[in-house]
Amino acid sequence: MSKSKHLGVTPPISLDFSDKHEEALADDLLATLKSEGLFESEDERKTREVVLGKIDKLVKEVVYQVSLKHKLPESLARECGGKIFTFGSYRLGVHGAGADIDTLCVVPSHVRREDFFECMTEMLKARSEVTELAPVPDAYVPVIKLQFSGVDIDMTVGVLQQPTIPEDLELSDNNILRSIDEHSVRSVNGSRVTDEILRLVPNIPTFRLALRCIKLWAKRRAIYSNSVGFFGGVAWAMAVARICQMYPNKCASTIVARFFVVLNKWRWTTPIMLKEIENGAGQFRVWNPR
C-alpha cells in the first residue's frame, strides 16, 4: 500500500501483516464471540431478509397510493418507485441475535413526510405480522417503530428532490442533499455515514470482528450510549475503523489490542477522523473541529 493510496488522514503506523500467533488469537476471538451469542442464526438471517423485502414493497405501495392522491396518472404513479436502505449495526454487519434493523425509506419529492407517516402507519396497522407499532413523527429524526414478524424495525424516511426513485439509486452522491430539508438530511445521512465507514476500512471482515468485540466490551461496562454521554454505535465504529486504517494488514485480535493502546494515549482535543472534511452540498453546516 503506497502512501498515495492509504486510507485515513495520515499514513498507516505499520504495514506489517499478522503472524500465526496473532491469527490464532483472532480465531479464538471469533469463537469467543460466537459462544457469547453475538451472531444470528441462519433462520434469523432469512427472516430478516424476508421482512426487509416486504417493507420495500410497502414503501413502493405507499408512494403509489400517495401519487394517486396527488392526481398522478396510474401509469406514472407506478413508476415513481421508492427504495429502502439499511444502516446502523445491521448494515455494518455487526448486529447480533434479536437486534433491531434501522431502515431508511427513500421517496420522491411529491410524497411529503406527513403523507408517508399517515399512509405507512395505516398499511402497517392492517398487517397481522406487525405489532408494537409506534409512530414518532415529532422526533429529532422522525421514526416509525414496530415489530414485523418478531423483528424490531426503526423506520425513517428521506424525501429527495426528484420525481422518481429508481432501483439503482445510490446515496453516496452529495448532490442528493441539495434542496432537501434537515429532517431528510438527518435520515439520509444515517445510511450515508454507515456506507462511508465501510468504504474507509481496509479490510471489512477484520473491522467487523474487532468492532463486535469492542461493542461487547463497552456494553458489559455500561459505557455504550451517546444519550448518557458515552460513545454510541457510530462513534465506536469510527474509532475501530481508525485503528484499522493505522494497521491495515493486521487481523482483528491485533486491532483490538492496538485499539486500547492508541486510544489510551489519544489527545482528545484532536478529533478521530476517517477522512478529510468535505464541503457540504447546499446550505447545511459543515462541522469544524476547531
* Helix (H) and strand (E) counts in the chain: 9, 5
Catalytic residue check, 16:
no
CA distances from 148 to 49, 57, 107 (A): 12, 14, 21
Given 3-state DSSP classes, what are the helix, strand and coil percentages for the chain, each rounded to the nearest 5?
50, 10, 40
Measure Cα distances from 10 to 21, 167, 205, 247 in Å. 28, 37, 22, 12
Q: Would residue 89 show up in a list of annotated catalytic residues for this protein?
A: yes
Retrieve residue 147's grid coordinates: 415489530
Q: Which one of the listed residues 60, 215, 247, 253 is annotated catalytic?
A: 215
Give the torsion sign (CA, 233, 238, 243, 249).
Answer: positive
Choose, from 18, 67, 89, 187, the residue flagged as catalytic: 89
The set of cell numbers assigned to 157 is 424516511
Q: Is 215 a catalytic residue?
A: yes
Determine the Cα–Cα distance for residues 163 and 107; give it in Å rounded to an integer: 9
Rg (CA), the chain: 21
Of the listed 18, 67, 83, 102, which one is catalytic?
A: 102
Q: Which residues, listed in sequence order, are joined to residue 152 by a DSSP beta bridge?
A: 147
Is residue 100 among the annotated active site residues? yes
Cα separation, 226 vs 260, in Å, equals 20
Q: Which residues are catalytic?
A: 89, 100, 102, 154, 215, 224
